[in-house]
């Protein structure tokens, strides 16, 4: 590892940390090298795998990278933007600028781990350093484990250890409220980066720009956090109601690193309300699932509880299509799926309800739903999506027990009591009153006519009977 300042330049490779503030790897590179050239690569392996040329995530990344470049330019520097295979493009760039090393922040997803190992080897063969840093989590890999070195499989003891260990970090106590800013005077001047970037408009990348439901970029993430903090004390009461602005909406920013997890955790700890500690728990769930993915990578395609891996899910293809398109005849499920298809966003309570509905009411393999979410979610995070799906399907680590199955109609009455969320996303049901909107199939003909919605014509009849399906789901699991 380079210790004293190295006069040779280094590369800093931005990936899922699209910010300048409180960026561990960037700070380390700037502390050790006389000149740091920032680089971002639109990785063709990832882009080529996306089936939808209108994928919203590319707009979010593209616009965040543009903002990042503007910030770096404001410091007299810039950003080299490449489009291609990092295994080819990074060694080429390192050669061209004679970089002594490359710095980056760690990524724990299986593809990223393989890619980074390969790049580290290539750099080592050419006598260049590869240094990676913990940045997207407070605790990674084996930081939190049982006394016997085993990974935790239950969230509550994991969280207890997490909180205890957190008290031992430098992030508590007198840590400054504002995040650290690195010494940006060591960024390489813009002239030294001229001519290295590829063309990278959305069209150059082969994608179409989309309207997003939230603003991309580091500044927007700061505004979102600032907007949420005055409401954090109410988080416990409001977080389960999709029609309320009860949650932070920061998942996309955490996913792409336009905000630092340390800043979020410090903000939560400064507040003393129970809402703030519930919110902190959710941030810890995020790390729990990342740890599970890192320690048990088989969960990507297999049930964590292996006895449920070979369940022969009897669900029908046409039911899967109805679920995807929001025409199951269960209003809250349909509202959630239509909202998701229109924006790439789904509220946490609705992710649980729709995932449980797919697996326990439609008896369809959780992997199909997981893949549908993975394609469409703007905040798609392999670890949390897999964890959330396996939780809802009862196949995962510390999952919902298979016999505790949400009743989608009761969930609707409880968490959308005045039907306002349903009315927004399933407009044909707007005419029903608050009693019938959750289950219009039970409304008599007169009520349906008054609501200007005939179930079976204007809105689908329920595609399954919840009570029958619940019994079948329990039988499926108890026989496994
Ligand atoms: C089936 C299913 C799939 C999911 N897929 C994803 C996904 O792909 N990406 C993703 O970020 N989250 C996923 N979640 C978790 C959760 O739904 C979202 O993180 C949350 O809805 C994001 O909204 P928010 O930022 O307003 O969250 P807040 O309620 O404000 O929570 C703050 C942050 O904590 C983290 N968090 C919250 N809840 C969870 C959770 N249950 N598990 C892990 N982390 C959590 C997120 O980073 C979130 O931004 C999934 C949950 C389920 C049940």
Q: What is the CATH number of domain 1-136?
A: 3.40.50.620
User: Ligand 1: which residues within 6 Å by Cβ?
Assistant: 239, 247-251, 254-255, 279, 282-283, 285-286, 289, 348, 351-352, 355, 373, 377, 379-381, 384-385, 387-389, 392
What does each of the 480 residues of the chain score in pLDDT, given as a tens digit? 444 567 789 999 999 999 999 999 999 999 999 999 999 999 999 999 999 999 999 999 999 999 999 999 999 999 999 999 999 999 999 999 999 999 999 999 999 999 999 999 999 999 999 999 999 999 999 999 999 999 999 999 999 999 999 999 888 765 555 556 678 999 999 999 999 999 999 999 999 999 999 999 999 999 999 999 999 999 999 999 999 999 999 999 999 999 999 999 999 999 989 999 999 999 999 999 999 999 999 999 999 999 999 999 999 999 999 999 999 999 999 999 999 999 999 999 999 999 999 999 999 999 999 999 999 999 999 999 999 999 999 999 999 999 999 999 999 999 999 999 999 999 999 999 999 999 999 999 999 999 999 999 999 999 999 999 999 999 999 988
Query: Class of 137-178+218-295 per CATH?
Result: mainly alpha
137-178+218-295 and 306-478 share one CATH topology?
no
Given ligand 1 and candidates 246, 264, 282, 396, which is best to mutate, with the most ligand atoms within 8 Å of its CB? 282
| Domain definitions of the chain by residue range | 1-136, 137-178+218-295, 306-478
pTM: 0.96
Question: Thinking of the domain 306-478, which architecture would CATH place it in?
Answer: Orthogonal Bundle (1.10)
Residues annotated as catalytic (active site), given as ranges: 282, 285, 313, 348, 366, 389
SS (H, E, C) the chain: CCCCCECCCEEEEECCCCCCCCCHHHHHHHHHECCEEEEEEEEHHHHHCCCCCCCHHHHHHHHHHHHHHHHHHHCCCCCEEEEECHHHHHHHHHHHHCCCEEEEECCCCHHHHHHHHHHHHHHHHCCCEEEEECCCCCCCCCCCCCCCCCCCCCHHHHHHHHHHHHHCCCCCCCCCCCCCCCCHHHECCHHHHCCCCCCCCHHHHCCCCCCCCCCCCHHHHHHHHHHHHHHHHHHHHHCCCCCCCCCCCCHHHHHHCCCCHHHHHHHHHHCCCHHHHHHHHHHHHHHHHHHHHHHCHHHHCCCCCHHHCCCCCCCCHHHHHHHHHCCCCCHHHHHHHHHHHHHCCCCHHHHHHHHHHHHHHCCCCHHHHHHHHHHHCCCCCHHHHHHHHHHHHCCCCCCCCCCCCCCHHHHHHHHCCCCHHHHHHCHHHCCCCCCCCCCHHHCCHHHHHHCCCCECCCECCCCCCHHHHHHHHHHHHHCC
């Amino acid at each position: 590892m380079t210790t004293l300042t190295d006069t040779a330049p280094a590369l800093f490779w931005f990936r899922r940390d699209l910010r300048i503030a409180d960026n561990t790897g960037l700070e380390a590179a700037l502390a050790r090298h006389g000149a740091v050239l920032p680089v971002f690569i639109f990785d063709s392996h990832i882009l080529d795998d996306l089936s939808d040329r209108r994928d919203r995530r590319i707009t979010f990344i593209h616009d965040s990278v543009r903002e990042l470049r503007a910030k770096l330019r404001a410091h007299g520097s810039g950003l080299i933007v490449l489009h291609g295979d990092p295994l080819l493009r990074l060694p080429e760039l390192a050669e061209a600028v004679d970089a002594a090393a490359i710095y980056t922040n760690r990524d724990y997803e299986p593809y990223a781990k393989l890619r980074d190992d390969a790049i580290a080897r290539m750099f080592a063969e050419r006598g260049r350093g590869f240094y990676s840093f913990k940045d997207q989590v407070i605790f990674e890999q084996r930081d939190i484990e049982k006394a016997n070195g085993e990974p935790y499989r239950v969230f509550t003891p994991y969280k207890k250890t997490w909180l205890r260990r957190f008290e031992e970090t430098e992030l508590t106590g007198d840590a400054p409220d504002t995040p650290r800013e690195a010494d940006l005077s060591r960024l390489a001047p813009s002239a030294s980066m001229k001519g290295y970037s590829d063309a990278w408009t959305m069209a150059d990348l082969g994608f179409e720009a989309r309207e997003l439901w939230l603003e991309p970029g580091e500044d927007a993430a700061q505004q979102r956090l600032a907007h949420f903090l005055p409401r954090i004390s109410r988080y416990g009461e409001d977080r389960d109601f999709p029609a309320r602005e009860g949650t932070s909406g920061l998942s996309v920013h955490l996913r792409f690193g336009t905000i630092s997890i340390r800043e979020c955790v410090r903000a939560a700890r400064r507040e003393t309300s129970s809402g703030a500690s519930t919110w902190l728990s959710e941030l810890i769930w995020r790390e729990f699932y990342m740890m599970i993915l890192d320690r048990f990578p088989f969960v990507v395609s297999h049930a964590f509880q292996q006895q449920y891996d070979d369940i022969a899910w009897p669900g029908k293809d046409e039911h899967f299509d109805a679920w995807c398109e929001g025409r199951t005849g269960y209003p809250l499920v349909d509202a959630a799926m239509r909202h998701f298809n229109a924006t790439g966003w789904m509220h946490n309570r609705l992710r649980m309800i729709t995932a449980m509905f797919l697996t326990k009411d439609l008896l369809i393999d959780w992997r199909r739903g997981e893949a549908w979410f993975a394609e469409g979610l703007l905040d798609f995070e392999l670890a949390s999506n897999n964890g959330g799906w396996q939780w809802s399907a009862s196949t995962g680590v510390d999952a919902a027990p298979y016999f505790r199955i949400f009743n989608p109609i009761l969930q609707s009455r409880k968490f959308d009591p005045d039907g306002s969320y349903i009315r927004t996303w399933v407009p044909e049901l707007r005419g029903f009153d608050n009693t019938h909107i959750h289950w219009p199939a039970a409304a008599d003909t007169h009520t349906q006519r008054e609501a200007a919605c005939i179930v079976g014509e204007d809105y689908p009849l329920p595609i399954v009977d919840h009570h029958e399906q619940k019994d079948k789901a329990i039988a499926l699991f108890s026989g496994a």
